[in-house]
Each structure stands twice: as C-alpha cells, then as structure tokens.
Structure 1
Amino acid sequence: MNDAYILKNVTSKYGDKVVLNIPELKIEDGKITAIVGPNGSGKTTLLNLLTFLEMPSSGEIIFKGEKVEEKNIVSLRRRIGFLPQNPYLFHNTVFSNVEAGLKIRKIPSSERKMLVKNALKKVGLLGYEKRPAYKISGGEGQRVALARTICTNPEVLILDEPSTYMDKKNIIRTEEIIYEFSREKGKTVVFTSQDLHRAQSIADKVLTLFRGELTTASLANLFHGKITNDGKIFDTGRIKIEITSANGDETHISIDPSNIVISSESLISSMRNSFKGKITAIIEENGKVRIEVEAGEKFHAYITKKS
C-alpha cells in the first residue's frame, strides 16, 4: 500500500488559535478519501495544506515520498487539481475558462480543443463553449470549474464541497466523475462534505474532523446545544438528553446510530433516554438499513436487513 500523503504532528494556527491539530494521518494513493465535519471543523484548512496553498504552522507533510518545503511547494502545486467551494471564473467564455490550465502548460491548440470538449461533456455542458462564464448559473459555474480541474489530468484531485449549488442530477454526475477518476485512472481523490451518507456511498475511507481534530465520533447524530447547570442533561433546545458525565463547556453531543433502538411500543430497559418519534425515511446503504426518525431532532439509526 502506497500513501499519497503522510502528515506527522501537523498543526495550523491563525494568530494564537490552533485551528487544526493532526498527530498523524495517511491518505492512501489511488483511493477516494472523504473528509466530513460541520462548518468550522477545519476541513478547508486541511485542504489548503493538501493542495500546498498553505504551509503548516508545525509538523511535516510528505507527498508521494517527497517532503513538502517552501523550496518545492510551487512545483508540487502543479501536480494537484483543486476545486474550491467557491471557484473563481475568468470574465471570459466557458471554453477559455476550461482551457486556462492547459494553456499554462503549453498544450497545443488542437489538443486543448479536444480536452476541453471531453471535459465539458463529462460535466454535462458540451455546447456551452462560447457562452460568457459570468452569465451562467452558480451550479453551471461549479461544473465549469470542475471541467477546468479535471482537464489537466492531475495526479491528485481535491474538491471542497463539490456539490455546492448543484441539483441532485448533477451531484450524481459529479460523484460519477470522482469515481471514474479514481477507479479507471488509478488517481487519488480527496473531497470534503457535510453529508456523511453521500460521502460513505462513494469514498473508500471517511475521515471525520471536529474542532480541528480527527475523531471517531459519529456525525450522523451530532447535535448542538449546552449542558445544564447540574451537568446531567444536554439541552439541544428541542430535546433534553440525559448524559453520564461532561466537562460543562461542551457544545455538541454525538450519538452512534448503531446504539439506537427503534420500537413500536414503549420499552422497559436500562437505556437512559427514550423519545417518541415518526419514521420519515428508510434507506438501504452499504448492506444496512438506515432509518430516519423525527423526534424533536432528526435521528439516524442503523438496523440489519433482517430486523
């Protein structure tokens, strides 16, 4: 097994505040890795490190066996294709936007034309070549930027919330591009998402970031709130969850979906919490069945097909 990235004792600071703290992380080459977490968890900061737009405040990053340093950071950037959450489009045609990276690499005109058309076809925008980029919709702009990113055939494809502004049809199209880029070309893909379930559906590995650190906590039932003065209740504002212990300053609580029991009748058990709710969705994924329940907060529970 080869690693595209190895991070050792990496931190990032903005001023005196540590926004990212990763003792160790390996991202396997040729695989799809998803990074999930709520807003402010450090996802974009981590991507800035992986795309070499920023250097860490401390620690070491190894990219395909090469230590990342100031002296080689520019050459390493050229090996990465990066789609930011809010990509910038030039005040020009769609074609000119997509071919920009190819022109920088001095690809011949005839080859550029073919590569641009192939990329636009993949994102469903073939025929948009002459349209002004500033007149297309946000979702179309996202797809133009995606076409520009894949057009150069980078070693690693990195995407920050790639489904932003896209409808369901084009979210699926984007996921197909990610899958093809990794499976057919053997390339590494890293993307961020706030949607744990979509991430799990296409990624080989899902990393969870919370408050700038990697965690094993589930994001399927991650609730915001506060602990009551007696330290025994976590109050989300919609429901009150009995807890065993806490520091007192915690603002989030995570509940493992596999630890939730669903019953049509009241249960007599040692479980601390019981809520009445309504099943709103039943979804089969990864050999299990995910149940969505509205019970003041939206809960996700996993059960077996047999259940």
Structure 2
Amino acid sequence: MNAETLFSIRNLHFSYEQKEALRIEMLELKANQVTLLVGPNGSGKTTLLKLINGLLKPGSGQIDFRGEAINGKGYRSMRSHSVLVHQDPFLFSGSVFQNVAYGLKIRKEAAPVIRRKVSEKLTLLGLSGFENRKAHKLSGGEKQRVAIARALVLEPEVLLLDEPAANVDNKSLKLIEALILKLQNRGATVIVSAHNRSFAYRLGSELLTLKRGRIVPGMVNIFKGFVKKQDEVFTYFASGKNLLHCPAQKGDFNTAVLPLNDVILSEREINSSAQNNFRGKVTHITREGNLYRVELACPLIVQAHITEYSINNLQVEIGKKFYLAFKASAVKLY
C-alpha cells in the first residue's frame, strides 16, 4: 500500500533578494515516515522546511498540503497540523515546564492534563526532573531537547526538525536519535534536515539530497534491516530476503550503505573475491551525465552506475536479467 502524499511541490522557486536558494520541479513528501533532507550548509534544506511550514512564501510555483495550496485553503490546515523546531530554537525566559506547557495553555487544556503531557514528553527526551530549571541556563543540547518536547506535546501530525543533530552534546544526540526511531516505529510523519550523513543514514526511511537548491540523485544504495549474525570475518546484514556480507564489526546496526559505483554487472555469474552475489531484473535505466543509473530487483532493489560503453556492450534493457556483485568492504553499516 502506497503511503499518502502529504506535501506536493511543483515548479517551486525561491530567492533571497537576487540569490537563488531553491528550485524544485517536482517533489512529493509522504506521510507516516521519516524523511531526511541531506546536504551541505547552504544547500536549501532550511529554506525548504520553512516553505512547507508556511514561514516563507514561494517566489513562484506551488506547495500543496493534502491537495490544497498552502498559500490558500491549505494554509490553516497545514499550520494546525505541523510544527517546525529550528536549529537554534527560541526559548522563553521562564522554566522548562513553562516553555513546554506554553502551547497547551494557549489551547486552554486542564492543568492536570498539562502536567501529565509535559511530564511524558520530558521523560521521553531524558529531561525528567528539569521542570523547574531555568531555560536560559541549559546547555545547547538540552535547549534543543526542550524545544522538541515543546513541539511534541502539541501532538502534531507533522514534525519538522531543522538540523537537530547540529551543535549538540553526545548524550543529546543519542536521545534525539532514539526519539526519531520511536516516532518512525509509530508511523509518525517526521521531516528532518541534516548535513551529517551518518545521522541521516541511521534514521531516514527516505533520504533526499539537496545541492545548490536542487534535489539531486543520491550516490549510494541505502538498505534497511538488521544484523543477523557476526563472526570474525563478516557481519551478516539481513535486508528483506537478502543477506549482505559486510566487514566484521560489533554493533546494533539498522542501515547498510553501498556506493553505486561499487556494483559490478555481468551477463554471466561473477567469479571473483566479491562476497555479495545476486541475480536481478533491470527495472529502471536513467542517464546521468556520462553514466547510467541502472536499477535491478533481486528482490532487494540495487542501483549501479555504469558507463555508456557497458550499457551497449551488455545490451542493458528493462526486463533483462543480470548477475551483480560487490565486495563486503564496499558496504558501510550505520
């Protein structure tokens, strides 16, 4: 069953004065998953979050929330169902409790309900006992967690997090990661920006790469799964019906990452030192500059970058089956 499209973006263009910040022809953001917006500083991640939250207005193009333009009928619905937590969140000068409870008081919820909800969210973010702390005396990581708790207590349908992993201590980072994974398991809709790819690989159901204000194809395969077993030579990572050989390392990993240019295709079974060998059917072929992106189902979906010479030499076409291989050392676990 396909996930519902929550945000639909068409021909979007935005500039800060004369400098173009974002240009997206078409993009759909799905409900009930964690979507990571990845890219370097200045790539347009924060701008995109502010646009879909209605804090900025597009120079041209349209953003729909559940089929209605957010610069029209969809604006009120989107604002009432989504909350954006900024990279450098603003906290009021009062206590942690006062900050987290603020939105609930605006909604005029009963005091016992407010206390319960605030306590639940502070506990979720490792802030139990912080209720009476002064917000301005907290560390950067603690402030970030308070801001996230303040957003979560409103129970938004869509949670937008702008660089939650930036400039936070290791304890806060682990707690924020754990929270996002919990939300993912609950089927929540979370859209997160990050420049830290390790953070993004571990957490995202879907990963979108931005570069100079444009969505660009990712250069790696991302497989979700779990470690099935380990020995002195390999870590065996299960993803769907496939078992990947990965370098031996201890840890509880949920993501395997494989660069596209490390995948080899052949019409015959590949006899090499590569431990990962599969057979799959070509489902998509896309030209990207001097290379072609070939997608195969085996049944794991694997993409490979190959040259035009190889496309012609192997007579690659949709529906044709190939053997594919890649070394264990090419796979990175997160």
How far apart are the structure 1 equivalents of 2:170 and 2:327? Answer: 26
Q: The residue matched to 1:12 in structure 2 has which SS?
A: strand
Report how far residue 104 of structure 1 moved.
1.6
Would you say the 8 A contact 1:142–1:164 is kept in 2? no
How far apart are the structure 2 equivalents of 1:197 and 1:118? Answer: 29
| Equivalent residue, structure 2, for 1:90 | 92
In structure 2, give the amino acid aligned to 1:22.
Answer: I
Matched, 1:150 2:152: yes
In structure 1, give the amino acid aligned to 2:191.
Answer: V
| Equivalent residue, structure 2, for 1:65 | 67
| Equivalent residue, structure 2, for 1:207 | 208
Please list every run of 5 or more consecutive structure 1 residues that lacks an aligned counterpart in the other structure.
221-255, 262-285, 289-301
How far apart are the structure 1 equivalents of 2:136 and 2:81? Answer: 28
In structure 2, give the amino acid aligned to 1:28.
Answer: K
Q: The residue matched to 1:110 in structure 2 has which SS?
A: helix
| Equivalent residue, structure 2, for 1:109 | 111
| Equivalent residue, structure 2, for 1:269 | none
How far apart are the structure 1 equivalents of 2:145 and 2:52? Answer: 22
How far apart are the structure 2 equivalents of 1:257 and 1:209? Answer: 18
| Equivalent residue, structure 1, for 2:268 | none
Report how far residue 260 of structure 1 moved.
6.3
Report how far residue 68 of structure 1 moved.
1.2
In structure 1, give the amino acid aligned to 2:64.
Answer: I
Q: The residue matched to 2:58 in structure 1 has which SS?
A: coil
How far apart are the structure 2 equivalents of 1:150 and 1:7? Answer: 25
Q: The residue matched to 2:173 in structure 1 has which SS?
A: helix
In structure 1, give the amino acid aligned to 2:25.
Answer: P
Would you say the 8 A contact 2:83–2:158 is kept in 1? yes
Report how far residue 200 of structure 1 moved.
1.4
| Equivalent residue, structure 2, for 1:132 | 134
| Equivalent residue, structure 2, for 1:266 | none
| Equivalent residue, structure 2, for 1:53 | 55
Identity of aligned residues (%): 38
Report how far residue 73 of structure 1 moved.
2.5
Would you say the 8 A contact 1:33–1:203 is kept in 2? yes
Moved over 6 A (4+): none
How far apart are the structure 2 equivalents of 1:168 and 1:258? Answer: 31
Would you say the 8 A contact 1:258–1:303 is kept in 2? no
| Equivalent residue, structure 1, for 2:46 | 44
TM-score by length of structure 1 reads 0.70
How far apart are the structure 1 equivalents of 2:330 and 2:192? Answer: 33
Q: The residue matched to 2:93 in structure 1 has which SS?
A: coil
How far apart are the structure 2 equivalents of 1:32 and 1:72? Answer: 22
How far apart are the structure 2 equivalents of 1:78 and 1:138? Answer: 28
How far apart are the structure 1 equivalents of 2:15 and 2:167? Answer: 30
Report how far residue 181 of structure 1 moved.
2.0
Please list every run of 5 or more consecutive structure 2 residues that lacks an aligned counterpart in the other structure.
222-257, 264-299, 303-325
| Equivalent residue, structure 2, for 1:120 | 122
Would you say the 8 A contact 2:69–2:75 is kept in 1? no
Compared CA separation, residues 62 and 30, structure 1 to 2 (3 A): same
Report how far residue 169 of structure 1 moved.
3.0
Identify which of structures 1 and 2 has the higher relative contact order when contacts are C-alpha pairs closer than 8 Å and 6+ apart.
1
Q: How many residues align?
A: 233
Task: Describe how 1:251-262 pairs up with structure 2 within 5 A.
Answer: 257-259=259-261
Cα deviations across residues 104-141 of structure 1 (Å, max 9, x unaligned)? 22221110110000010011011010111111111111
Report how far residue 60 of structure 1 moved.
1.0
Cα deviations across residues 255-277 of structure 1 (Å, max 9, x unaligned)? x945369xxxxxxxxxxxxxxxx
Q: The residue matched to 1:54 in structure 2 has which SS?
A: coil
Would you say the 8 A contact 2:262–2:330 is kept in 1? no
How far apart are the structure 1 equivalents of 2:327 and 2:216? Answer: 23
Cα deviations across residues 218-275 of structure 1 (Å, max 9, x unaligned)? 499xxxxxxxxxxxxxxxxxxxxxxxxxxxxxxxxxxx945369xxxxxxxxxxxxxx
Larger strand percent: 2
| Equivalent residue, structure 2, for 1:265 | none
Task: Describe how 1:1-307 pairs up with structure 2 within 5 A.
Answer: 1=2, 2-70=4-72, 72-184=74-186, 186-218=187-219, 257-259=259-261, 303-304=327-328
